[in-house]
Structure 1
Amino acid sequence: MEAWNLPWQGGCRCGKLRFEISAPPLLTMACHCTGCQKMSASAFSLSMAIPEAGFRVIEGEAVTGGLHGAQIHHRHCEWCKSWVFTELEPSMGFVNVRPSMLDDATWFAPFVETYTSEALPWAKTGAPHRFAAFPAMTDFGPLVEAFAAQGARPGRPHAKSA
């Protein structure tokens, strides 16, 4: 496996909330669902699934934003309200980190696109794997394996579209 050059650091727009990643992503994704469009104020949201043990907030405090009381907890900077990461309840063993919050996200490319059925017609990422909705749980094992072998990472060119 190629070096991931970890740890990585990142933070919100104002810099009050900082985090560190010490484990490589399991998968990188872009979600085109209308909920993510509204949360990100963009055509899609980007995420990296990071093993829970490989993610920690090192400065500031994350607060819940977006939907409250749901099993999905969107975490934001308490000051600038930037959407930084998402946790699931019950835990599935990973945290979804917004890659645009990394200090250096130039290497990032989504490996999977979800909810392409709700995508704006012009919004294309070039991800090699696309799903009309969310993939079935049985799809994730093969996707994680394929990402480990072919996905973008620091120092490696982005994966090509299928």
Structure 2
Amino acid sequence: MQLPIKGGCLCGEVSYQCSTAPIWSVNCHCRACQMLSGAPYVSAFSVPAEAFTVNSGDTIKFFRESDNGNKVSTTYCAKCGTRLFAQSEGNQALVNIFAPTLEDAANFVPISNVYLSAAACWIEPDEKRFNFEKMPEF
């Protein structure tokens, strides 16, 4: 992806940018992502939190517990409800940005699939990607 990475919400109120390249990109098939997005999986990428900035707009957060017991916050635009990014208290050094919010999503390429144990029955994961039944531990 070309730096800086920029994105935002559907209505344009919230914008963000990141000054470094992603360290991981993924299609997440967990039930939380399915239910929070209304889709069979969510594409996202992880960046260092210190390189990520929300430039404008009001946001709201939803908190949930992950399967390993960590609290996860998901940030939305307060006006249009776009799901922008998430962060786990288990790894506050990373921010996970949802790829559909990118200003230019053409360069996003997921390298892995996680939580294939919860994937919709019609999903056929690409064998060229790193595929995991759950979230791998790094």
| Kept after mapping to 2: 8 A contact 1:39/1:66 | no
Tell which deviates more after alignment, 72-81 or 84-93: 84-93
Q: Does 1:10 align with 2:7?
A: yes
Q: Deviations over 1:120-147 (max 9, x none)?
A: 1222453610011111x2xx3xxxxxxx
Taking structure 1 as the reference length, the TM-score comes to 0.76
Distance 1:74 1:83 in 2: 7
% same residue: 28
Q: Deviations over 1:55-83 (max 9, x none)?
A: 10001122102638x61000000011111
- Could you list the runs of 5+ residues in structure 2 that have no partner in the other structure? none
Report how far residue 96 of structure 1 moved: 0.3
Distance 1:99 1:48 in 2: 7
Distance 2:85 2:32 in 1: 15
Tell which deviates more after alignment, 126-135 or 54-63: 126-135
Taking structure 2 as the reference length, the TM-score comes to 0.88
Report how far residue 109 of structure 1 moved: 1.8
Distance 1:121 1:51 in 2: 33
| Kept after mapping to 1: 8 A contact 2:49/2:95 | yes
Aligned length: 133
Q: Deviations over 1:27-58 (max 9, x none)?
A: 00111111110011100011110101111000
**Equivalent residue number for residue 17 of structure 2:** 20
| Kept after mapping to 1: 8 A contact 2:8/2:103 | yes
1:53 is aligned, of 50, 55, 59, to 50
| Kept after mapping to 1: 8 A contact 2:16/2:54 | yes
| Kept after mapping to 2: 8 A contact 1:110/1:125 | no
| Kept after mapping to 1: 8 A contact 2:74/2:83 | yes
SS at match of 1:39: helix
Distance 2:56 2:125 in 1: 32
Distance 2:115 2:47 in 1: 21
Displacement over 4 Å in runs of 4+: none
SS at match of 2:64: coil
- Could you list the runs of 5+ residues in structure 1 that have no partner in the other structure? 141-162
| Kept after mapping to 1: 8 A contact 2:63/2:72 | no
Letter in 2 for 1:78: A
Question: Is the radius of gyration larger for structure 1 or structure 2?
Answer: 1
